[in-house]
A = this chain, B = another copy of it.
Amino acid sequence: MAQKIPVGILGATGTVGQRFIQLLEDHPWFEVAWLAASDRSAGLPYADATKWKLTSPIPARIAAMKVSPAGPADAPKVIFASVDAAIAQELEPRFAAAGCAVITNSSAFRMQADVPLVVPEINADHLALIEQQSWRKQSGGFIVTNSNCSVMGLVMALAPLQPFGLEKVLAVTMQAVSGAGYPGVASMDILGNVIPYVPKEEEKMEAEAKKMLGRLAGPVITDAGFAISAHCNRVPVLDGHTESVSIKLRVTATREQVLAAWVGFDDRNQISGLGLPSAPKHFVRYDDRPDRPQPRLDVDTGAGMTAVTGRLRKCGVLDWKFTVLAHNVIRGAAGAAVLNAELLKVKGYLGR
């Protein structure tokens, strides 16, 4: 078999960074060759630099790997990133300028006009934006982003329904604590509680959904033309963002047509047949049991890469209402970036 592509992880000690390591262990195309984190961690063996919170152990090879400073000097040319927006704002362009493919979960560049915000099944074609990036023109490097973890499940449920014409979308989230990283949400704040606020999350959901579901027209994205409103809540759940969604469609659709659109999307999405290793068998799975999906029971559907919908029924205000669940750290963060990287590879953006 061909040699694997060496990749680096920027923000390797965080909640998403740990998932990158977990998902890339035994990846058929990529191999973790470089780990970077804050200056505090640089120089330490990874196992000493991180507070590992996953149930699977740190892979032995990774545990012993020394954490590098967070600069492009000795980094590989393919970088997975997940760092705070302010840090990403400063660091990610340095990597792109140095010729790296920066595949990032950070929020800093998601809404920049020439940066694609990609869910491969939905808008793989948006990758064309890369060619607009100044980094690309100078060094070959570029930045590709994936969405906020809360909007991911929503757009996965919505994308298959675009043929009916999305007109209005109202989503209320019940988000897991892992979405805030570690240490993140204090236990005193969330035990037996609901926090009806996640800073900046509603704005991100509304803006990112329209970009991801937008249309590439020449060198720019035209935002999808629906009205959208999000209410974001935090609940005492470890992993998995659950959302109550109401939608209005421009074209009348029956219940059967909506269900068929979800199921049928597996055969008509933008990566059908590409064989990307992290692409789930089912993009959306509809569960017809009356009390599903539930994060504890369903979050790992499709290895955490499938969105699970349920409870499709008529809405008294818009047309339809339903529940959607997606794994916020896998499909909503690390897994999203890995799938983007796989897409980039088959599209020839990773240099071989």
What is A's interface to B at a CB cutoff of 8 Å? 15, 53-55, 168-170, 172, 174, 177-178, 182-197, 199, 206, 227-229, 231, 233, 235-238, 242, 244, 246, 290-298, 300, 310-311, 315-318, 321, 323
- Cross-chain contact B194 with A237 (CB below 8 angstroms): yes
- Residues of chain B within 8 A of A185, CB atoms compared: 186-188
- Residues of chain B within 8 A of A246, CB atoms compared: 170, 229, 231
- Cross-chain contact B194 with A174 (CB below 8 angstroms): yes
Q: How many copies does the complex hold?
A: 4
- Cross-chain contact B236 with A300 (CB below 8 angstroms): no
* Nearest 10 A/B pairs, CB to CB: A183-B186, A231-B244, A229-B316, A172-B172, A193-B296, A197-B291, A196-B323, A229-B317, A172-B244, A177-B187
- Cross-chain contact A55 with B231 (CB below 8 angstroms): no
- Cross-chain contact A236 with B238 (CB below 8 angstroms): no
- Cross-chain contact B196 with A310 (CB below 8 angstroms): yes
Please name 6 pairs of A and B residues whose Cβ atoms are closer than 8 Å in the assembled complex, sorted by A.
A169-B317, A182-B186, A186-B186, A194-B242, A231-B246, A233-B242
Q: How far is the CA of A161 from the CA of B290 in the complex (A)?
A: 34
Q: Indicate which residue in B54, B188, B228 contacts A177 across the interface (CB closer than 8 Å).
A: B188
- Cross-chain contact A188 with B182 (CB below 8 angstroms): yes
Q: Indicate which residue in B15, B206, B244 contacts A196 across the interface (CB closer than 8 Å).
A: B244
A351 to chain B, nearest CB (A): 37
A199 to chain B, nearest CB (A): 8
Query: Knowing that A193-B295, A195-B291, A199-B290 are A-B contacts, what are 10 other residue pairs whose CB atoms are under 8 Å apart, sorted by A's residue number?
Result: A172-B172, A174-B235, A184-B187, A187-B236, A191-B192, A193-B294, A194-B294, A196-B242, A196-B294, A228-B316
- Residues of chain B within 8 A of A293, CB atoms compared: 196
Which of chain B's residues has its CB closest to A314's CB? B229
Q: Indicate which residue in B206, B231, B238, B316 contacts A172 across the interface (CB closer than 8 Å).
A: B231
